Each structure stands twice: as structure tokens, then as C-alpha cells.
Copies of this chain bind each other. A is one copy, B any other.
Amino acid sequence: MKLHWSPRSPFVRKVMIAAHELGLAGRIETVRTVVRMGMPHAGLLRDNPLSKIPTLVLEDGRVLFDSLTIIEYLDAQAGGGRLFPAGPARWDALTRHALGNGLLDLLVLWRNERDKPPAAQTTEWMSSFTVRTEASLDHLEREAPHLGGSSFGIGHIAIGCALSYLDFRFADLSWRTGRPALAAWHKGFAARPSARATEAADD
């Protein structure tokens, strides 16, 4: 399997954490593919016309994306049901995933906006990003005991990657302040071998 990959994409990291958790990392050939908001990647466009990573190309040529699709595929290759709980717990896990992933979407947009010249920034967007990020973190602080009390899976991966991305790109937000339960949960996440093997690197 060939994965369009970057060491700094939090969405790619979700896939690689899942691969490590499932014992499949050795079967994935990573190909460095750099994409930016304003610069589509010609080679990647052939596999994924949205020019987004992660994108997985299977041995038979079939192409899978986005990160959630790829992770559920890998989970099935490893026997199924390891990162996706069955029964009613599935909807909580998928909603947690949507929260972590949606927070990442928001943070990536925020970073793009923040890096523009001040005259090109939209004030209401910046303020909306702040409100929604703080609300998400407060929600997760209340959710932290349930995160710790449920089997590690797709929701934990997305939330862990979002918090680590805050450390990587938004250290000034000091997200741990006033959120001791979430900080403690993230400490356990970051210590997992799958998380340690996939830490973002600024290069």
C-alpha cells in the first residue's frame, strides 16, 4: 500500500497512529507529498482530485481517502472492530472523531488565516476560530473522564492528534490552562508507542 504522506499533516498522522496500533505500519510505503491550501500537487491530483492527504493507493490500483475511510479500511484488514466499537458506542466514537477532526479542520484554516498579511485577515473569522476552539476544549475537558474510560479508538486518535497539533502550531494558546483532566488524558495519549512513532517534525 502506498500512502501519500507528510510528516507534519495531522490528518496523515491519524492514519499512521492507526497503522501502528493495528500492527500494519510495516505494510505501508509512505511517499512524501507536499500539499498547501493554495498549491495543488500535480501527482496527487491524479490519485485524489481534491489534492488532499492522506490518500492511500492499494496494490490493485484502487484509491482510498479521506483519513476516516483509510483508517476503517486498515481496521478491517486487521480483523475489524479494533478501533471502531460496535453497537451504540460506535456513534459516540464517530462523534468524538468528528469533533477532533472538525477541530483540526478549523485549526488548519485558522493557521492559514493567521499567516496572511493583516490587511487580508478577516477579523470575524479569527474571533470565531477562538470561540469555537475554546468551546471544543472546554467540552473535551468535561469529556476527559469518558475518554479515559473507553477503549482506545478512532475518537481518541482524532482528539489526540488535534491536541498535539495545538502544541505544534498554537503553543501560544496554552490549551492546558484550566483543563487538568484533558491535559492528563493527552499525556497518556502522547506516551503511546503509536503516538511517539508519529510525532510531527518541523523540518
Q: Which residues of A contact B (CB under 8 A)?
A: 37-40, 45, 48-52, 62-66, 68-69, 72-73, 90-92, 94-95, 97-99, 102-103, 105-106, 109, 116, 119-122, 124-125, 127-128, 131-132, 135-136, 138-139
Contact = CB atoms under 8 A, between A and B. Distances in A.
A98 B120 contact: no
A161 B92 CA distance: 26
A106 B50 contact: yes
B95 A39 contact: no
Given A91-B69, A95-B65, A37 B125 contact: yes
| Identical chains bound together, number | 2
The 3 nearest A-B residue pairs measured at CB: A38-B124, A49-B135, A69-B94
B98 A45 contact: no
B49 A136 contact: yes
B62 A102 contact: no
Given A49-B135, A94-B69, A95-B64, A40 B128 contact: yes
A172 to B, nearest CB: 20
